[in-house]
């Protein structure tokens, strides 16, 4: 029996129809780039200090010395969360005593910022932090905001696949686009932090669902030679383009509500795509809607200027396809033996740790020395060559060595930041960007590597479980950034150590490059450490078919 690839082979691989689908689906990912990282500016924390009201009746000298000084990163700065007791210094001011001359400031009693804070507006005019005073005793809410967004991403990961299987790829793609755009618009009218955060969780659910369904739809419509480029360079590069747009918008729009409006409106541009992006013919066939699938194939043939047969799908082949049953598998099959369980646990750690590094470095970019908007743009820009490098390396070199290599690169340069003098800001920023380059390259290779390790019957489940682990990593990533409040280099020391450690673990995976994909759990390779052992090579044609199977996930 011929499969779908053979039946539709007459369409060709890269005609006008395929090019249109490639670029439209990739373009639909652009809003994911700036929505997924928008929290870095929406929840930006400017420098702040306790507000001293005009009613305090202080002399100019005492007003200038009403905030205690602290040592931070080797320099003296005003305390962000404490001030001297106003009633005490008001009495001293009334007596005509001078601060530092007549009064030892270190002996004065301090208090919290009882009248609120004043925020510097040289970087941000307003953020949710300045609007709802998410600083000092409430500063825990800032990383929680980002974490809860990624909780929404985790929830969306659970449901997006099932919904697209039930209601169709196209319907769920545009529904999730509407969810992402609509609830992002509602966030503009948030009256408190709780409302903003609940809506942000729903935006996260729509964001990942849109990404996943666009990825599935593209891999099901495009041919095998285009599919791997779409899954590695197409969606990833256009995500990075959206990420690069974010700091450009944020630079010119410094108010968080207006910025959120500007980031929401481009979602409306996706509405016309409904009339250009078709439903997946594969999904229609699986639902018994063969005539609709044939109509899409015939329109594709016309667009490609190719003669199409009167009947595309033979009824007997379809009947045989629907009658074939796949064996049932369960999540416990990923832990059936010690070897399989070891590979699964190592994969979960690899995905989670790499995700922590990627998202922590992305969220921390505006906190680096120098211009916050330029740093964020560079963090997005560095992803494009990282994706190209990953694509080139995957074509020619062993998987575990290239993944471990880029992890060692990323983690090693992050560890070097602690020895860079505080005055060498450009060097520190360069090392962070190089670290982001290595972690991003590794992150983009994990889908291919994990899919190659597992047999057909549990491959989708294995990629799903490890992908869930990466969502958990993204949830805890904001708290790695939060460590910077205690020490400037602490986040990089922790991330660098974790990245190098997981790079070492990667060397203990079995090698999958050039090895025939396993079809059963018994055919899975053993954990062989640093030795590759003897591996069966496959022909170029078999390897290409393996890559095609991988990109379907």
Distance between CA atoms of 421 and 74, rounded to whole angstroms? 11
Q: What is the pLDDT of residue 323?
A: 54
**How far apart (Å, rounded) are the C-alpha atoms in residues 285 and 279?**
11
Query: Please, what sign has the CA dihedral across residues 455, 236, 21, 269?
Result: positive
Which has more pLDDT, 203 or 107?
Answer: 203
Cα–Cα dist 100/63, whole Å = 13
* 142-165: pLDDT as tens digits: 889 988 998 888 888 777 767 777
**Can you give the pLDDT at residue 56?**
72
**Mean pLDDT along residues 28-35:** 85
Inform me whether the pLDDT recorded for 74 exceeds 60.
yes
Question: Using one digit for the tens of pLDDT, what is the confidence trace for 188-232?
Answer: 999 999 999 999 999 988 887 777 778 778 877 887 677 767 877
User: What is the C-alpha separation between 536 and 514, in angstroms, rounded?
Assistant: 8
Domain 1-44+133-325 has CATH 1.20.1250.20: yes
Comparing 379 with 395, the larger pLDDT belongs to 379
Give the pLDDT band of residue 183 (cuts 50, 70, 90).
very high
**Domain with residues 331-553, CATH architecture:** Up-down Bundle (1.20)
pLDDT at 60: 83
**Taking residues 231-241, what's their average pLDDT?**
82
pLDDT the model gives residue 532: 40
Which residue has better confidence, 76 or 187? 187
Please state whether beta strands 82-84 and 69-72 pair in parallel, antiparallel, or not at all (unpaired).
unpaired
In this prediction, residue 517 carries a pLDDT of 61
From residue 273, alpha-carbon distances to 186, 241, 301, 520, 523 in Å are 23, 19, 20, 40, 43
Confidence of residue 550 (pLDDT cuts 50, 70, 90): very low
The pLDDT of 51-74, averaged and rounded, is 80
Where is pLDDT greater, at 425 or 254? Answer: 254
The DSSP bridge pattern shows strands 75-78 and 69-72 to be antiparallel
Instruction: Name the token pair of 177.
Output: 């686009």
Strand-pairing partners, residue 515, are: 537
Angstrom distances, CA of residue 526 to CA of 106, 186, 434: 65, 51, 33
The CA-based angle 376-25-304, given to 5 degrees, is 140
Give the pLDDT confidence score for residue 553 in this predicted structure. 38
| pLDDT recorded at residue 395 | 80
| Domains 1-44+133-325 and 331-553 fall in the same CATH topology | yes
Q: What is the pLDDT of residue 552?
A: 37
Helix pair angle (372-381, 30-37), 10° resolution: 140
What is the reported pLDDT for 315?
66
Residue 344 has pLDDT above 90, yes or no: no
Here the tokens at position 191 are 């009256």
Share of the chain above pLDDT 90, in %: 17
Lookup: tokens for 329: 């598998």
pLDDT, greater one: 338 or 458? 338
Mean pLDDT throughout 6-25?
Answer: 81
Q: What percentage of residues in the chain have a pLDDT greater than 70?
A: 86
Per-residue pLDDT reduced to its tens digit, 439-453: 999 988 887 788 777
CA atoms within 13 A on the CB side of 127: 24
Whether the CB-CB separation of 429 and 364 falls below 8 Å is answered with: no
The pair of structure tokens assigned to 478 is 């904001």
Q: Look at residue 407 in the predicted model and tell me its pLDDT.
A: 94
The helix or strand, by DSSP H or E, that contains position 320, with its residue range, turns out to be helix 315-323
The helix-helix angle for 456-482 and 338-364 (nearest 10°) equals: 40
Assess whether pLDDT exceeds 80 at residue 128. yes
* pLDDT at residue 2 greater than cutoff 80: no
| Residues 509-544: tens digit of each pLDDT | 887 777 776 666 676 777 765 444 444 444 334 444
Answer for the pair 123, 129: CB distance below 8 angstroms, yes or no: no
93 pLDDT higher than 70: yes
pLDDT reported for residue 78 = 86
Mean pLDDT of the chain: 81
Q: Which tens digits make up the pLDDT trace of 247-268? A: 999 999 999 999 999 999 888 8
Q: Residue 545's pLDDT is what?
A: 45
pLDDT of residue 325: 52
Q: Between these two residues, 331 and 547, which has the higher pLDDT value?
A: 331
Long-range pairs, 258-265, Cβ under 8 A, ≥24: 259/38, 259/41, 259/42, 260/38, 260/42, 260/184, 260/187, 260/188, 261/185, 261/188, 263/31, 263/34, 263/35, 263/38, 263/184, 264/181, 264/184, 264/185, 264/188
Centre a 10 Å sphere on the Cβ of residue 409 and count the other Cβ atoms it contains.
Answer: 20
In the Cβ-directed half-sphere of 132, how many Cα atoms lie within 13 Å?
A: 20
Domain ranges of the chain: 1-44+133-325, 48-119, 331-553
DSSP state of 334: G
User: How distant is the alpha carbon of residue 13 from its chain centre?
Assistant: 30
Burial of 418 (C-beta count, 10 Å sphere; 0-12/13-18/19+): middle
| pLDDT confidence tier of residue 549, bands split at 50, 70 and 90 | very low
Q: What residues does 76 pair with on adjacent strands?
A: 71
Of the candidates 306, 332, 376, the residue with the CA atom closest to the CA atom of residue 40: 376
Of residues 7 and 389, more confidently modeled? 389
Q: What is the mean pLDDT of residues 354-382?
A: 86
CA-nearest of 431, 414, 434 to 499 is 414
**Per the structure block, which two tokens stand in for 501?**
């450690």
Confidence at residue 11, expressed as pLDDT on a 0 to 100 scale: 75
Q: Flag whether pLDDT at 246 surpasses 70.
A: yes
């Amino acid at each position: 029996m011929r499969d779908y690839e053979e039946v539709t082979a007459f369409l060709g691989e890269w005609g006008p129809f395929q090019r249109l689908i490639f670029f439209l689906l990739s373009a639909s990912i652009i809003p994911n780039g700036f929505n997924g990282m928008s929290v870095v500016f929406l929840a930006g924390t400017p420098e702040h200090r306790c507000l001293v009201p005009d009613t305090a009746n202080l002399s100019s000298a005492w007003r200038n010395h009403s905030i205690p000084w602290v040592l931070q990163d080797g320099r003296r700065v005003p305390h962000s969360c404490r001030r001297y007791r106003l009633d005490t210094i008001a009495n001293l001011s009334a007596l005509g005593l001078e601060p530092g001359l007549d009064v030892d400031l270190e002996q004065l009693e301090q208090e919290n910022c009882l009248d609120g804070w004043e925020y510097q507006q040289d970087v941000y005019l307003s953020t949710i932090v300045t609007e709802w005073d998410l600083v000092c005793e409430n500063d825990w809410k800032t990383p929680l905001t980002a974490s809860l967004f990624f909780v929404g991403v985790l929830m969306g990961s659970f449901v997006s696949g099932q919904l697209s299987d039930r209601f169709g790829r196209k319907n769920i793609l545009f529904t999730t686009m509407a969810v992402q755009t609509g609830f992002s618009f509602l966030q503009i009218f948030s009256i408190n932090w709780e409302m903003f955060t609940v809506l942000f969780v729903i935006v996260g659910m729509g964001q990942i669902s849109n990404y996943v369904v666009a990825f599935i739809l593209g891999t099901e419509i495009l041919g095998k030679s285009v599919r791997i480029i779409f899954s590695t360079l197409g969606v990833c590069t256009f995500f990075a383009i959206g990420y690069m747009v974010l700091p450009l918008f944020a630079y010119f729009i410094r108010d968080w509500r207006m910025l959120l409006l500007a980031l929401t409106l481009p979602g409306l541009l996706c509405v016309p795509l409904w009339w250009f992006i078709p439903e997946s013919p594969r999904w229609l066939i699986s639902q018994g809607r063969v005539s609709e699938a044939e109509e899409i194939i015939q329109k594709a043939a016309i667009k490609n200027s190719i003669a199409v047969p009167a009947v595309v799908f033979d009824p007997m082949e379809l009947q045989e396809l629907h009658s074939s049953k796949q064996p049932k598998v369960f999540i416990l099959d990923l832990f059936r033996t010690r070897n399989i369980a070891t590979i699964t646990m190592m994969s979960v750690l690899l995905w989670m740790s790499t995700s922590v590094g990627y998202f922590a470095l992305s969220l921390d970019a505006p906190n680096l020395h120098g211009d916050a908007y330029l740093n964020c743009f560079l963090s997005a820009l560095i992803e494009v060559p990282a994706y190209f490098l990953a694509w080139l390396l995957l074509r020619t070199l062993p998987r575990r060595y290239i993944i471990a290599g880029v992890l060692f690169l990323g983690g090693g340069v992050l560890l070097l930041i602690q020895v860079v003098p505080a005055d060498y800001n450009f060097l520190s920023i360069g090392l962070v960007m190089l670290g982001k380059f290595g972690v991003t390259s590794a992150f983009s290779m994990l889908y291919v590597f994990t899919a190659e390790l597992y047999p057909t019957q549990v491959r989708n489940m294995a990629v799903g479980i490890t992908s869930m682990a990466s969502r958990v990593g993204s949830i805890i990533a904001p708290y790695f950034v939060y460590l910077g409040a205690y020490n400037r280099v602490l986040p990089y020391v922790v991330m660098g150590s974790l990245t190098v450690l997981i790079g070492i673990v990667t060397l203990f995976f079995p090698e999958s490059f050039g090895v025939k994909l396993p079809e059963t759990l018994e055919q899975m390779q053993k954990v062989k450490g640093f030795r590759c052992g003897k591996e069966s090579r496959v022909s170029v044609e078999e390897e290409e078919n393996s890559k095609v199977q991988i990109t379907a996930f």
